[in-house]
């Protein structure tokens, strides 16, 4: 088996590392967005008594897996500039996605007379 440095150098030379970085960065932004949307949906389900049964179990499994993913990914983003760029990218992506999906931020429950 080749030493890790040799493999990394070869992948860098053939352009794979640059592509990998872009793919993982895009996937991370999507994962962050999914986590935010699922959190918002789960709050609504909880508030309305709808987060029950198998859905609640699967939701909790998803949250635990996401937490593990974010803890690990956090070790890869080490500079303050990288962290700030990531949050800036996430804010821009969130705004574009919510506009496209017609899911505005800051939505409030309608007050219903009973």
Number of domains forming the structure of the chain: 1
Establish if 106 belongs to a structural domain: no
Whose structure tokens read 């990218």? Answer: 89
Residues 6+ apart with CB under 8 A from 98: 104, 105
Establish if 6 belongs to a structural domain: no
Establish if 107 belongs to a structural domain: no
Establish if 108 belongs to a structural domain: no
Establish if 110 belongs to a structural domain: no
* H-helix or E-strand spanning residue 56: helix 53-74
pTM: 0.80
Establish if 77 belongs to a structural domain: yes
Residues 6+ apart with CB under 8 A from 33: 90, 93, 94, 97
What is the span of the domain harbouring residue 59? Answer: 11-101
Q: What tens-digit pLDDT sequence spans the chain (114 residues)?
A: 778 889 999 999 999 999 998 998 899 999 999 999 999 999 999 999 999 999 999 999 999 999 999 999 888 888 889 888 888 999 999 999 999 999 998 888 888 887
Establish if 112 belongs to a structural domain: no
Establish if 85 belongs to a structural domain: yes
């Amino acid at each position: 088996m080749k030493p890790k440095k040799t493999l990394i150098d070869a992948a860098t030379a053939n352009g794979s590392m640059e592509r990998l970085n872009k793919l993982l960065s895009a996937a991370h932004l999507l994962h962050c967005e999914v986590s935010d949307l699922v959190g918002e949906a789960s709050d609504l389900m909880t508030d309305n008594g709808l987060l029950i049964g198998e859905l609640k179990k699967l939701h909790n499994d998803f949250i635990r897996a996401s937490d593990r993913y974010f803890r690990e990914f956090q070790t890869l983003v080490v500079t303050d500039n990288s962290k700030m760029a990531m949050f800036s990218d996430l804010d821009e992506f969130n705004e574009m996605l919510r506009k496209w999906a017609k899911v505005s931020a800051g939505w409030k429950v309608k007050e219903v007379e009973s």
